[in-house]
């Protein structure tokens, strides 16, 4: 009986936790590419040539911010380069991609961070 009650209590707690992140219009404006072009796997392009969309953004060059964004987005590579987005010498360049589970929620969570000004599509040569 005790085990049953613990299970019921645990389910109640889990059901209250929502992973559905809904950004405000201002936060959505930080994402500077069209999310509607991506399929459920986070890929873009024609049926026979789909690719992941790479993105970049800048954060202050402090470990607390680095750890926070890495905890949100497992695809991130954090660098000291400027990138096309033009990070300053006091900022880290963060590069990620959409080919991952929950990519929309990840982007929404990043856009909610006050210190992330914009998230741009990244192009590599």
pLDDT at 20: 66
Instruction: Name the percent of the chain lying above pLDDT 90.
Output: 80
The C-alpha atoms of residue 93 and residue 82 are separated, in whole angstroms, by 6
pLDDT, mean of residues 94-119 = 98
pLDDT band at 31 (very low <50, low <70, confident <90, very high): very high
Write out pLDDT tens, residues 56-72: 999 999 999 999 999 99
| Secondary structure class of 96 (helix, strand, coil) | strand
Q: Specify the CATH architecture of the domain 23-121.
A: 2-Layer Sandwich (3.30)
Write out pLDDT tens, residues 32-48: 999 999 999 999 999 99
pLDDT at 19: 55
pLDDT band at 124 (very low <50, low <70, confident <90, very high): confident
Write out pLDDT tens, residues 68-97: 999 999 999 999 999 999 999 999 999 999
* DSSP line for 37-74: GS-TTSEES-TTS-EEPEEEEEEES-HHHHHHHHHH-T
């Amino acid at each position: 009986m005790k085990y049953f009650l613990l299970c019921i209590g645990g389910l109640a707690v889990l059901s209250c936790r929502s992973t559905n992140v809904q950004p405000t219009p201002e936060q959505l404006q930080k994402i500077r590419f069209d999310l509607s072009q991506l399929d459920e796997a986070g890929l873009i392009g024609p049926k026979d040539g789909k690719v992941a969309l790479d993105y970049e953004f800048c954060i202050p060059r402090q470990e607390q911010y680095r750890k926070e964004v890495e905890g949100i987005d497992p695809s991130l590579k954090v660098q000291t380069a400027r990138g096309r987005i033009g990070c300053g010498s006091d900022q880290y360049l963060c590069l990620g991609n959409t080919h991952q589970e929950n990519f929309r929620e990840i982007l929404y969570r990043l856009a909610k961070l006050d210190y992330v000004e914009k998230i741009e599509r990244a192009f590599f040569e």
